[in-house]
Amino acid sequence: MPTTHATAHAKAGMIARLNSPDYDRWAGQIRATGGCRQPIHLRGKIDHYDRATGRLCTATPPSTSQTASSASPAKPAAPPAAPPAPRRTEPTPTT
């Protein structure tokens, strides 16, 4: 199992984060994204349309929308490509 060795700089950063006034908000975002290191930040509004008529029923402005400051985990990284097949070499004749 890999081990992690924190440098003095990393330790100072962790202590600063833990003592930050917005720690609870930050921790909530980390929990919401499943600990994703590079979440996708969504911004915008939500529009609800009637499927039968196509008319706009309700629109939620960005200030109250859940997507106004929502972070979602990014997709998992694509698996690495298969290594190239070994080159076939012809046997060298011996004399």
Please provide the distance, in angstroms rounded to a whole number, between the alpha carbons at the two ends of the chain.
52
- Does residue 1 carry a pLDDT above 50? no
In a domain, 84, yes or no: no
Residue 31: the pLDDT is: 86
Q: Provide the residue range defining the domain that includes 13.
A: 9-72
In a domain, 78, yes or no: no
Residue 56: the pLDDT is: 85
Number of domains in the chain: 1
In a domain, 89, yes or no: no
pLDDT digits (tens, 9 = 90+) for 21-45: 999 988 888 888 888 878 877 777 7
Confirm if 62 and 44 have CB atoms less than 8 A apart.
yes
Paired with 49 in beta bridges are: 56
In a domain, 90, yes or no: no
In a domain, 17, yes or no: yes
In a domain, 14, yes or no: yes
What is the phi/psi pair of residue 14, to 5°?
-65, -40
> Cα angle at 30 between 59 and 47, to 5 degrees?
10
In a domain, 45, yes or no: yes
Closest CA to 31 of 72, 59, 68: 72
In a domain, 88, yes or no: no
